[in-house]
Amino acid sequence: MNVLVLGGTRFFGVHMVREFIKQGDDVTLATRGLAKDDFGDSVKRIKIERTSDESLKNAFLGKTYDIVCDNLSYCSNDVKVLLDNVKCKRYIMTSSASVYHEFKLDLKEENFDPFTNELKWCGRDDFSYDEIKRQAETALFRHYTSQDSAAVRFPYVVGSDDYTQRLYYYAEHIVNSKPMNIDNFDEKIAFIRSDDAGKFLVYLAKSDYRGTINACAQGTITIKEIIDYIENKTNIKVIYDKNAENGTYNGTPSFYLNTEKADSIGYKFLSLNSWIYDLLDEFIILAKNTENH
């Protein structure tokens, strides 16, 4: 298949591109030309300015793609500028669990309905992150009704390649005896591993599923369980201080994304317990190596 990818040079986007290549697809990366990648001659490249109507019009004039995977659509204007200028048979947008107005356990896609939400054309700085992501979904499903499309809602995406380092933060602070302020010890947090996220995007792109869909590892873990594991593994006790730096997941209540719709199209996400502790082991080693330098 002829595939266009926006946001394919880092994190789960890299895993997605690798999976497309593995399956023999003809992949084109659309980037600003600033980020390096390791795909070599396995992909084509087009240089664009993502938010520029003129740039996209010039870059994609006369081109048609079987699939467009868009990891860089943050607001309704982003959706508009892309779909007004790129012809594709199927469009897959990376969304976020942030679209849900309330985080809770067993969140279903119906808990936020972009098909009935009020559409507001907006830029990335016009509203909070959660609202601009809602508007991106709303623009897709209310304005581009004839477009074959799906939007994937991810919880926290983590992996050894996670540039946000939000999960690594806990290992780094404990190993280096840095105090932390933690306000949500017992909240059950949902995650997905970056490679599983990338593979699901490809799986979804090649399915006939339309609409919104959750993607989430099976199971949850509490911040206390994360901290206890790191303490036991390192024999270093965490230092708590209410006046210290806030934990990176502070303020997050218990939540989990229901994945019955993904199950219905035949995709099974990895169990959280099958990989989270191995990832914490990697972060502990990384923190120790950083400490020694």
Q: Residues 160-199: pLDDT tens digits?
A: 999 999 999 999 999 999 999 999 999 999 999 999 999 9
**Which residues in the chain come in under a pLDDT of 70?**
291-293
pLDDT for the residue 33: 82
Helix (H) or strand (E) holding 261: helix 260-264
Q: For residues 52-72, b (16+ Cβ closer than 10 Å) or e, as one string?
A: eeebbeebbeeeebebbbbbb
- What pLDDT score was predicted for residue 35? 82
Q: Which pLDDT belongs to residue 36?
A: 86
Residues contacting residue 167 through CB under 8 Å, at least 6 positions apart: 156, 158, 191, 226, 248, 279, 280, 283
Distance of CA 203 to the CA centre of its chain: 15
Q: Closest by alpha carbon to 108, among 223, 262, 252, 267?
A: 262
